Amino acid sequence: MKRAALYARVSTLDQHPETQAIELRQFARQRGYEIAEEYVDHGVSGIKVRRPALDRLLKNAHRRRFDAVLVWSCDRLARSTRHFLQVLDELNALGIQFHSQREAIDTEGPLGRAIVIIISAIAELEKSLIVERVRAGMRRAKLEGRRIGRTPLDVDHAALVKDRLSGMSLTIVAKKHGLSRASVVRFVRDSQRNDIPAATGE
């Protein structure tokens, strides 16, 4: 019986990789595979090339510990076409098949590989279009005079610097002016660099 490695990935910690794993186990049985090991990257973005579970899977692929890799969908393996094809090329060179359950495809034969390339290219195109729509929206908002990003803090910098330099604790200054401790440190440091005089209260 051929051995299969199951790979699952979720990008946030509140998602459950077991949802993918359950379907992959059934998928492996339907394909007649014995499950060699399950690899799970939990809370890891697909944009990242280096991932603990994926790195371990590829290392074990070189050790010939399985004959196929099963994923729930292609985008679980990689988000970019380049990375996706790099992984497929590495598996193919080792004689290891790739199966995606959702797309119902595998890399056995030239047709399967062609389909994988087309699907990954479409996924990357869709992502590029989303990014371009966001950028277009930001450009339109800027032309219309709308502010993009967070509203700037309304802070009396001079008073803040005076409070801090008078010996008031960092925590108290932060609470008084509604800022984080890091922001207080930054404002004081910037004022010292620029020689901004503190308010005298007169």
Active site residues: 11
Q: Is 9 left (phi over 0), alpha (psi -120 to 50) or beta?
A: beta
- Give the residue carrying structure tokens 């077991």: 18
34-42 and 68-71 beta bridge pairing: unpaired
Question: What span, in angstroms and rounded, lies between the C-alpha atoms of 191 and 189?
Answer: 5
How crowded is residue 17: how many other Cβ atoms within 10 Å of its Cβ?
21
Pick the closest to residue 78 from 93, 94, 62, 91 (CA basis). 91
Q: Do 23 and 72 contact (CB within 8 A), yes or no?
A: yes
Dihedral over Cα of 37, 42, 47, 53: its sign: negative
